[in-house]
Amino acid sequence: MSIERLRAFKLEINAEEQINSLSKSNTLFTCSIFLYLLILCASSIASVDKITSSTPIQLITPTYPIPENLLLDIGIPTLNDGLYLSDDDDLVFPEVRYAESIYFANQLAKMLEKSGAWGAVRVIPNDEVVTDVFIKGVILHSDGERLSLEISVSDISGRKWFSKKYTKVAGRLAYDRKMRSSLGDPFQNVFTQIANDMLITREQLADENVEQLRSISELKFAEKFSPKAFSEYMKTDKKGVTRLERLPAKEDSLLQRVTKIRQRDYIYIDTMQDYYDSFSQQMHFAYQDYRAATYDSVVRSRQLDRQGNKRIIAGIGSILAGIYGRTQAETRLASDAGSATAAVGGFILKSGLEKKQQAASFDESIAEMGSSLESEIAPQVIALEDQTITLTGTVRAQYDQWQSLMEKIYIKERGSL
């Protein structure tokens, strides 16, 4: 082979190697760009939240008229705020939760009254108030998008009816101003479903069992005033379930006196219910605006946070791919392609961090909304027979004062009789 042909052959080999290297670099660069576009598309698709139906659940009513003597009274202590269940990253505002613990209890009471299946339904200051049926609840999650409650129901005998978690996700249409009036409260279905489950359980009880519950309730109240006189009529087993042994005579003078005390006790509790109603009504409109405003912020915050994570991962991947391309490059052109790939990765990473920062700013805006709700609840003025008391401060402070005041009045009312 001549020297000229040998040189031409080497030049041909070198050219082919450069072309192959360039092809690999271009492929690497193209794949990185494709990866970036794919991540963007995936983020866009993932950011579309499902629109949840806001069609109201139908409230069921008794299948047959319930006689007045078989109507069970219900007591609902203000719900547990559930703050101990929240993580540091959760968007939970103590002031709002304290208000919600009253508001949700009152909403449930109104729904139960609407069903027409019960006697008196009251929000009560604590579970020491004697009534036929107790409903206790814990707020597991609450924001403009999702409400989750854990509800436990039991009766005065200590028998548990059921314990269940209720969750409702509000769709965008729930906060549409044009449709809000027709759809009602975004989370109305939670309270409707609880009321329906309550009635289903109630209708499984025999009339005899209902009568016994009402008698146990009466004797439990009387036992607070005279344990020795009334404890003998009931017996509690190892499981904590109380059973009726026998009834006192109707003409029992002590029982008649305690019955009069209980009637006055009912009047007191009904007065407290008026205060709970006033509290809930006063915060209603501010709270609904808060929900509507936080809905978009909560959803967008989650979307931006999710997009940010995807872009950060894609950015790091592209940077690593670019660095690898430069270290493996055999030509200047291939090294430049690797540098470009790393640059694209840096842009994606920067974009991801910006998305995370945007999410943080939305979190701050939600916190501001929670504070604004707190400031919109005015002091509560309570007029008593001998004095007027004003509850001031934050929602939490007002709630604590309220509880303390009700306990004092409760003791005073009983002690004066």
Q: What is the tens place of the pLDDT at every residue in 16-56?
A: 555 455 454 455 445 544 444 444 444 443 444 343 456 78
Contacts of 160 (CB under 8 A, 6+ apart): 152, 153, 154
Same domain, 203 and 157: yes
Same domain, 222 and 344: no
Q: Which domain holds residue 238?
A: 68-248
- Measured CA to CA, the distance from residue 32 to residue 39 in angstroms comes to 11
Same domain, 84 and 102: yes
Band of pLDDT at residue 73, cut at 50, 70 and 90 = very high
Q: What is the mean pLDDT of the chain?
A: 73
Contact 382, 234 (CB under 8 A): no
Strand order in the sheet with 121-124: 121-124, 74-77, 133-142, 146-155, 160-169
What's the pLDDT at 384?
64
Q: pLDDT tens-digit profile of 145-203? A: 889 999 999 999 999 999 999 999 887 777 766 655 544 678 999 999 999 999 999 99
Same domain, 392 and 337: no
* CATH number of the domain where residue 120 is located: 3.40.50
Say which residue, 274 or 201, is predicted with more confidence: 201
Q: Tokens at residue 50, please?
A: 């499902």
Q: What is the mean pLDDT of residues 381-410?
A: 67
Structural domain total, the chain: 3
Return the top range by mean pLDDT from 103-117, 182-196, 223-237, 281-295: 103-117
Q: Is the pLDDT of residue 130 over 60?
A: yes
What's the pLDDT at 113?
97
CA 362 to chain centre: 19
What's the pLDDT at 105?
95
What's the pLDDT at 153?
98
Same domain, 38 and 157: no
What's the pLDDT at 414?
52
For residue 38, the tally of other CB atoms under 10 A from its CB is 12
Residue 274 lies inside a defined structural domain of this protein? no
Same domain, 210 and 76: yes
Q: What is the mean pLDDT of residues 336-355?
A: 50
CA separation, residue 83 to residues 79, 91, 125, 205, 401 (Å): 11, 11, 19, 35, 19
pTM: 0.66
Same domain, 397 and 365: no
Domain end (from 248, 265, 288): 248
Q: What share of the chain has pLDDT > 70, as a percent? A: 57
Say which residue, 260 or 306, is predicted with more confidence: 260
Same domain, 213 and 243: yes
